[in-house]
A and B are shown apart, each in its own frame.
Chain A
Amino acid sequence: MDMNEKKVEEKIENAQPVEEKPTLPDTKEGRLVKLILEKAPYAEGNVRRERRVEFKVPAERIHEFLELASEKFEMLMQISTVDWLKEGEFELVYQLWSVSEGVHAFVRTRVPRENAKLPTVMDIWPVAETYEREAHEFFGIIFEGNPRLGPFILEPREYEKHPLRKDFNTLSYVKTIYGEDFDRYDESKTNYVI
């Protein structure tokens, strides 16, 4: 809330705190967002800056939304995952690139941490297969419909441990693998100061 108010002060573009109809700037990005939001009223969208737009979509409608967005955004560049441990949610950010418009879009969606499930978007962008495997391996998110959610990059002993989750303790895991002290020298550098 506080954040939003600040933004309003700084940028008139984003206007009106929170919700539904932030007035979009009359630029290429603004029109693009408007076009998509007209077809997808369940989403929230705004323009971050030039060539950068952002959408928030509820998880159950993500596939529908991405299919719609793929008309304008031809490329899926990345699916990045953020683990919000306190809120108990994973935030998936689908990064889309519009080749025709030159606009980068972030489509954010949140799923609960336990038993995180999402529909695959392989049918829209075949490249999603790899990104989803990665998100599956490192965070344990299940993409229904992706046939290759198996071991991918990690070694067998690391598989199913989901090392990029915030509750994975890297240091203690390393200690179980390499022993308490993996320093050659007299002192031990296995404690972290910061």
Chain B
Amino acid sequence: MKMPARVVGEEKVKLKKSFIKPWMGIKYLFKKPVTIKIPFEKIEPAPKYRGFHTLDWKKCIGCNFCGQICPARAIEMTWIEGEKRPHPKVDYGRCTFCQFCVDVCPTGALGFSENFYLTTGGLEEDLELYDWVPIDPQKVRELNERFGDYRFPVERIKFNRETREVTYYLRDGTEFKFKILGYGLKPPAAAKPKPAAKPAAKTAPKPAEKKEAKTEKPAEKPTEKKEEPKAEEKKE
């Protein structure tokens, strides 16, 4: 039977054995070695290297598209005090950095940065660092410009299990605080009475605003969104 493929003759690919030829490798002894001396030299990741996420809290509408597409099930929607919609929380213990979630995000809220260094010790409180609600891209960019070493923008994450308060100690020394009310798609039942009670304790003008927003939940989303993140910024 005629073979459809073209076949190269064996005499062309078969090499003669040689005693001398392996010694030709010695020529590299005198050439500059191809290596990067990591602590002293830097490597620049590609401009769209898939690294840690960034999340624009003003844009995220809590649709959970990112949570649905995630092949590693690394995203859990998180209800944050002061936010009307849940935001994704990314677990880097599971994340494969495929960035499907970034592509699927309908509002472009979820993005990614080139940062890729993240090392911790093995203690439980160190490991909290691998589980975060990504912060604003602007902030990450700022930190990158300042340090330029592509490390995780947060140095330490403290999670208080009683009060459920999370504190991000960013690399430039600022703190970023918020409170987690619950997880999942449904608004946390336990948290419902809280928003009414909490702001009363903290700030005076807020409660009215909150209650308004609560009653008119489905009606006016855009205005709410604009209001809420501002509060976040202030905290920051």
**Chain A, residue nearest B93 (CB):** A184
Mask: chain B, 173-195; 1 = CB below 8 Å from A; 0 = not: 00000001001110000000000
In the complex where A186-B161, A189-B94, A194-B68 touch, is A102 in contact with B73 (Cβ < 8 A)? no
Chain A proximity of B232: nearest CB distance (Å)? 20
A189, B76: Cβ atoms closer than 8 Å: yes
Given contacts A193-B67, A193-B185, A194-B68, contact A187 B76 (CB under 8 A): yes
Tell me the residues in window 173-194 of chain A with beta carbons closer than 8 Å to chain B beta carbons.
Answer: 183-189, 192-194
For residue A180, give the distance in angstroms from its CB to the closest CB of chain B. Answer: 16
A100:B64 contact, CB within 8 angstroms: no
A187 — which chain B residues lie within 8 A by C-beta?
A: 76, 78, 89, 183-184
Q: Which residues of B contact A188 (CB under 8 A)?
A: 183
Contact with A along B66-92 (1 / 0, CB 8 A): 011000011010100000000001010
Contact A192 B127 (CB under 8 A): no
Interface size in chain A (residues, C-beta < 8 A): 12
Closest to B131 in A: A185
Q: How far is the CB of A161 from chain B (nearest CB, A)?
A: 22
Instruction: Using A100-B1, A102-B4, A194-B68 as known contacts, say yes or no to A189 and B91 having CB atoms under 8 A apart.
Output: yes
Query: How many whole Å from B68's CB to the nearest CB in chain A?
Result: 5
Instruction: State the Cβ distance, A100 to closest chain B Cβ, in Å.
Output: 5
- The 17 sampled A-B contact pairs (Cβ below 8 Å) are A100-B3, A183-B91, A184-B127, A185-B91, A185-B93, A185-B128, A186-B131, A186-B159, A186-B180, A187-B89, A187-B183, A189-B73, A189-B74, A189-B91, A189-B94, A193-B67, A194-B68
